Structures are given as structure tokens and as C-alpha cells.
Amino acid sequence: MDWIDEKLLKLKDKIKAQSLRKTMSLYIFIAIISVVIFYILTIAFCKGWKGLVYTKYSIDINSYIPIETLVKLEPIDKVILYGAGIIRVYSIVIYSIIAIIITSNLFYKNKIKAPIEILKEEAKYISRNDLSFSCIYNSGDELGEICDAFEKMRLQLIKNNENIWSLMEGQRQLNSAFAHDIRTPLTVMQGYTDLLVKYYPQGKITEEKLLQTLNLIQSQLTRLKQFSEKMKDMQDIDAIKIRQKLYDFKLLKKKIQEIINGINIKSNIQINIFNNLKESKGYLDESVALQVIDNLLSNAISFAESNIDIILEWEDDFLYIYVRDDGTGFSKKELYSALKPYYSSRRGMDGHFGLGLSICKVLCEKHGGKLTLNNSTKGGAIICASFFAIVDKK
């Protein structure tokens, strides 16, 4: 029985995999054969009953003379002969109608009903904007292909929706992160502006100091303009181009010190810079390096309690910039997730790592380096940004 069941199952699967046209042709062929067989059996059945009646009256069944003209038939014999004649004439029609009904029902049940119900259900779900229903029908026929097409369409709709939501969320977070990333230059400018407003009317600022302060503010404005233009032109982070040129690292320290001076005016947090660079020149994209430092300082200020250290080091053609704060440090979750785009934390002033760390990570990688997060042994967080900057040996 197991062997028979296995063969029947394979036959059923083979038929299921056939196209609708081939399956319909097979069903019709079987129906015709069945009608012919049943009709032959019916003819034989009718002929048998007719033979019994003819034998009863000792008349040859092959006689061409109607039996009614030869003998007087009993009523029951008349009914038998009449019924056999009617059945013989109309049985082919009856069998054909029955075959059509059975064939169409079987064809619908075995080949059409299941995929149609799946497609109808899928259409209901899609009309409700619900893409959770899987349109799966394992068959090699045309309806199976349609179900496969619907399933691919469903998966594509899910992907499109995810992309749309991702773009919307990305745009929202990008706007938030943009404000986050320009906070440091704005803080610097505000610090210098407050200094001028407070001391210039009192005559405590010399003309030289005034021009120097205005130049520093102008420098920050220029950087803000460059950053906003870069954000405007950037469709995604991959659009940022790294442009390395021969650079004096003393200038980098000076630029960082200018940022620190502006922040120190406005903030109670003490920011220190330690220059441990062994080399004086290398190939660096200054705007990218300063943007990374801006972001790292912005995040450090949010989490620091009173002190931030910036350490510049050089090793094996790499410029390393460490930013260390004396805050609570990174949690295990933050060490794993803080570099992901738009990750947010509840511990900071605004609870936002934002585009800052994620864009720093990408910028460092584009510059041949990387961004790493750690907790300092002295307490607090320490972030290391590295840049590949080949030293000029001349």
C-alpha cells in the first residue's frame, strides 16, 4: 500500500506541475474514455436484458423482425424492452453531461480553486495595505506562476515601503543631525561674539585683538558655509570626496585650539589639547579632519562633566586624534550601536549621537582610517579617529 500511495502521490504532483492546457486535455481525454467505457457497458447491459426477453419467447435476438409482431409480450417484458431502448439511446447524452460536470469540478478543485483563493486573499490583504500574507502556491502551472509573480510583487512592495520609511526617517534624522553638527561652530562664534559684546564697549579689547577675533569668527562662518554646501550637494555619504594635500600639522593644532578657545568662552568644561605628533607634515584633508573633530567635541561636551582632553599622535603613516571626556562612559549597548546612523542615547544633554559619530566613522574610513569607541581606564569615554596621511619625507 505504501508503494501504491507513493506512486499515486508522485502522479498527483506530476499532474499538478502540468500546465492548465495539458491538464484540461488530460481530464477531457479521461472523461471521453470513461464515457465510452460506460456506454459500452450500458449497451452490453441493455443487450443482456433484451436477450433474456427474447430467450423467454424463443426468438433469435439477432432477428430483424420486431418481437412485438411475432408474439404477445407480457407487460413487464414490454417495460424491460422499452427501458433498454431508452437507456441505449440517451445514456450517451447522460454520461456526457455527468462527465462534463465531474471533469469541470475536478479541474476546478485540483487546479484552480486553491490558487484563486490564495490570490483573492492576497488581494484583500493588499487592499488593506497589509503585506503580511504570503502568496505561495507550489505548482508549475500558469496560476502557480501568477502566485509567484504576486509574491515577488508583495516582497518588492515591502522593500519599497521599507526604503520609503528609511528615506523619510533618514531625512528627519539628517535634519536633526545637521543642527547637531553645526552646534560646535555656532558655539564658537557665539563665544567670540559674547566676548566682543561684553568687553569691546569697555575698551578692554584692542584693535588687533578685535580683528583677530573677527577673523576667527569669519573662519568659523566659512567652515559653516562649506559644511552646508557639502550637505546640500550630498545625496548620501558616499558623495563626499576626500581631497588630500600636503598639510602642516602645526596648523591643525592651531585650528583645533581656535575651536577650543571659542568653546571655553561659552562652556564651563575645560578642554585641553596635547600634541604628541612626531611628524610635521603629511597629506591630509583638513576640512574632513576638522569636521570629525567638531563632531567628536560636540558629543564629548554633551557627556563630559568638567574636562575633555584632545590628544594628537602619529604612528605608521596614520594620524590619530583621541577625544577623551570624564563623563559616565559608553554603555555596552552604546559601544555596539553608537556608530550606527542616527543612533540616539538618553544619557546626553539631548540624548543624541546622531549623524555625528556615524559620519565620523565614514569619513575616517574614506580617509583610510577608522573610528573606534572605548571607555577610558580613568573613567569616561574615549573616541579615537585615525586618518591615513602619508608623511612627506622632504
Q: What is the pLDDT along the chain (394 residues), one digit of tens a residue?
A: 566 667 666 766 676 677 888 888 888 999 999 999 999 998 888 888 777 777 776 666 666 666 665 567 677 877 777 777 788 888 899 999 999 999 999 888 888 888 889 888 888 888 888 888 888 887 778 888 888 888 888 888 888 888 788 767 766 766 666 666 677 788 888 888 888 888 888 888 888 888 888 888 888 888 777 667 656 645 556 667 788 899 888 888 889 988 888 777 777 888 999 988 877 788 999 988 998 998 888 888 888 888 999 999 988 889 999 999 998 888 888 887 777 655 655 444 444 444 567 778 888 988 999 999 999 888 889 999 999 987 665 5
CA distance 152 to 127: 17
Residues 6+ apart with CB under 8 A from 156: none
Strand partners, 308: 271, 325
CA distance 191 to 247: 28
CB burial of residue 162 (10 Å; 0-12, 13-18, 19+): exposed
Question: 321, 385 in Cβ contact below 8 A?
Answer: yes
pTM value is 0.47
Structural domains in the chain plus CATH codes: 2-158 (no CATH), 182-388 (3.30.565.10)
Residues 6+ apart with CB under 8 A from 89: none
Backbone phi and psi for residue 387, each to the nearest 5 degrees, phi listed first: -135, 130
Residues 6+ apart with CB under 8 A from 247: 281, 282, 283, 284, 286, 389
